């Protein structure tokens, strides 16, 4: 029986395709997907099955064309069904796109931290602050008076040799300036401007013509302490250093003095600290030389004082277990990031 024109068959197929497209686009879950499957792909009376039956009613000469059209629409509907099925499996499109997967690993945030020497400087300043010492700053480019003469190191004094470093000529100045070779310059600057009693601490960079090795570098940091009050003795000096060291390194740190010489202190000592059974040289100290007190206008019969200068790198190396102070300046983040005093600086 041939009673279906090719045009009518084609029109039916196009309607089928359009409706399948619409219905499958609305599929949101397994239930509506199953309904759509039965409607369009059902084996007995699905719309495609019915269209296939219609093919039998098309005139013989039109059959090849009608068959090609049927196959094209069938593949299209099957593809649309597959897409709808995938969507139903992953949930509604907008919801899955907007969902945040809280189980995914986050984007790591890189935490910066302070350089171990900065951490050390802040911690030393904080501890000394608790002992009543005010933090003061001094210039890194100094005149010769503060770096040498006022500290009783005249031009011909041999103590200048290891301290002489990088001179800088300054416009309108007859004398060259230099990078300070010790923070003791700040002792003088403070005493010139203030009257006793004094308790100050100064932390900063100093420069020396040293060859770099595990414990030396041409630039390093010092912490300078100065206390001037009536009745000050070496016992006060030792107590302050011991309190500082015990606080900084933890536990009961012993402090040892060895006789030494500095032009601006009398007597002068080298300061060693014992920690984990080892003695480490930390710096120099002594009673402020009466000649220095006089030079700044103090009366040595009324006041006396002590001063000390410790190496910040040595203190930091001790605390962090660093064997070579050059590592502090190499700027290798893998080294630097190991040291964190968070919350303590
Ligand atoms: N300024 C001395 C040095 O750098 C250390 C020191 C400071 C010594 C204060 C005595 C008093 O070697």
Q: Are residues 53 and 152 in the same domain?
A: no
Whether residue 144 lies inside any domain: the answer is: yes
305 pocket-lining for ligand 1 (C-beta < 6 Å): no
Q: Are residues 94 and 120 in the same domain?
A: no
311 pocket-lining for ligand 1 (C-beta < 6 Å): no
Whether residue 341 lies inside any domain: the answer is: no
Q: Are residues 74 and 213 in the same domain?
A: no
Q: Are residues 140 and 253 in the same domain?
A: yes
Whether residue 318 lies inside any domain: the answer is: yes
Interatomic CA distance for residues 221 and 117, integer angstroms: 9
| pLDDT at residue 300 greater than cutoff 90 | yes
Burial class (CB in 10 A: 0-12, 13-18, 19+), 70: buried
Whether residue 1 lies inside any domain: the answer is: no
116 pocket-lining for ligand 1 (C-beta < 6 Å): no
What is the 205 CA–ligand 1 centroid distance (Å)?
14
Range of the domain at 13: 6-98
| pLDDT at residue 93 greater than cutoff 80 | no
Q: Terminus-to-terminus CA distance in the chain, angstroms?
A: 98
- Supply 271's token pair: 């300061």
Whether residue 108 lies inside any domain: the answer is: no
Q: Are residues 56 and 162 in the same domain?
A: no
**DSSP for 149-171, written as a single string:** GGGT--TT-GGGTTT---EE--T
CA 281-283-285 angle, to 5 degrees, is: 125
Q: Are residues 70 and 216 in the same domain?
A: no
Report, as an integer, the average pLDDT of 34-56: 91
249 within 8 A of 188, measured Cβ to Cβ: no
CA 235-239-242 angle, to 5 degrees, is: 140
Interatomic CA distance for residues 289 and 279, integer angstroms: 27
Whether residue 147 lies inside any domain: the answer is: yes
What is the 285 CA–ligand 1 centroid distance (Å)?
6
Interatomic CA distance for residues 228 and 195, integer angstroms: 9
What is the 260 CA–ligand 1 centroid distance (Å)?
11
Q: Are residues 94 and 124 in the same domain?
A: no
Q: Are residues 308 and 198 in the same domain?
A: yes
Mean pLDDT, the chain, as a whole number?
Answer: 91
283 pocket-lining for ligand 1 (C-beta < 6 Å): yes
328 pocket-lining for ligand 1 (C-beta < 6 Å): no
Q: Identify the CATH number of the domain in which residue 214 sits.
A: 3.30.930.10
135 within 8 A of 201, measured Cβ to Cβ: yes
Q: How many percent of the chain have pLDDT more than 90?
A: 67
Interatomic CA distance for residues 199 and 297, integer angstroms: 17
Q: Are residues 60 and 188 in the same domain?
A: no
What is the 290 CA–ligand 1 centroid distance (Å)?
16
Mutate to test the pocket of ligand 1, among 152, 284, 292, 313 (most ligand atoms within 8 A of CB): 284
Domain boundary (98, 124, 141) is at 98
267 within 8 A of 294, measured Cβ to Cβ: no
- Supply 18's token pair: 């359009």
Q: Are residues 173 and 31 in the same domain?
A: no
Mutate to test the pocket of ligand 1, among 262, 272, 286, 305 (most ligand atoms within 8 A of CB): 262
309 pocket-lining for ligand 1 (C-beta < 6 Å): yes
Q: Are residues 177 and 50 in the same domain?
A: no
Compare 103 and 134 and report the one with higher pLDDT.
134
Whether residue 103 lies inside any domain: the answer is: no
Helix (H, G, I), strand (E, B) or coil at 262: strand
Q: Are residues 94 and 138 in the same domain?
A: no
307 pocket-lining for ligand 1 (C-beta < 6 Å): yes
- The pTM (predicted TM-score) of the whole model is 0.69
Whether residue 172 lies inside any domain: the answer is: yes
What is the 19 CA–ligand 1 centroid distance (Å)?
94
Q: Number of folded domains in the chain?
A: 2
Phi, psi of 330 (to 5 degrees): -75, -15
Looking at ligand 1, which residue's alpha carbon is closest to its atom 4? Answer: 182
Categorize the per-residue pLDDT at 179 as very low, low, confident or very high, splitting at 50, 70 and 90: very high
């Amino acid at each position: 029986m041939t009673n279906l024109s090719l045009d009518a068959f084609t029109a039916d197929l196009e309607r089928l395709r359009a409706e399948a497209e619409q219905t499958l686009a609305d599929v949101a879950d397994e239930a509506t997907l199953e309904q759509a499957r039965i409607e369009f792909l059902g084996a007995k009376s699905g719309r495609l099955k019915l269209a296939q039956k219609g093919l039998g009613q098309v005139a013989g000469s039109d059959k090849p064309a009608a068959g090609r059209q049927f196959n094209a629409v069938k593949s299209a509907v099957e593809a649309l069904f597959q897409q709808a099925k995938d969507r139903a499996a992953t949930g509604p499109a907008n919801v899955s796109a907007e969902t945040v997967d809280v189980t995914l690993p986050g984007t790591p945030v890189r935490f910066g931290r302070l350089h171990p020497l900065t951490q050390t400087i802040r911690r030393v300043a904080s501890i000394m602050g608790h002992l009543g010492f005010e933090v003061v700053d001094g210039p890194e480019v100094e005149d010769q008076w503060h770096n040498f003469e006022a500290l009783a190191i005249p031009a011909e004094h041999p103590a200048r040799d290891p301290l002489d470093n990088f001179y800088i000529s300054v416009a309108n100045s007859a004398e060259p300036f230099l990078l300070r070779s010790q923070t003791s310059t700040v002792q003088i600057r403070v005493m010139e401007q203030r009257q006793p009693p004094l308790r100050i601490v100064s932390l900063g960079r100093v420069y020396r013509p040293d060859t770099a090795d595990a414990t030396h570098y041409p630039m390093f940091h010092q912490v300078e302490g100065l206390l001037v009050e009536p009745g000050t003795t070496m016992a006060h000096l030792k107590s302050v250093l011991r309190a500082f060291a015990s606080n900084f390194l933890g536990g009961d740190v012993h402090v040892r003095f060895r006789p030494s010489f500095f032009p601006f202190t009398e007597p002068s000592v080298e300061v060693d600290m014992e920690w984990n059974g080892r003695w480490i040289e930390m710096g120099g100290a002594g009673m402020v030389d009466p000649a220095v007190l006089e030079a700044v206008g103090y009366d040595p019969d009324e006041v006396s004082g002590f001063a000390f200068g410790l190496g910040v790198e040595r203190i930091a190396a001790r605390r962090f277990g660093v064997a070579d102070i050059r590592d502090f300046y190499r700027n290798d983040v893998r080294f630097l990031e190991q040291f964190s005093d968070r919350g303590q600086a």
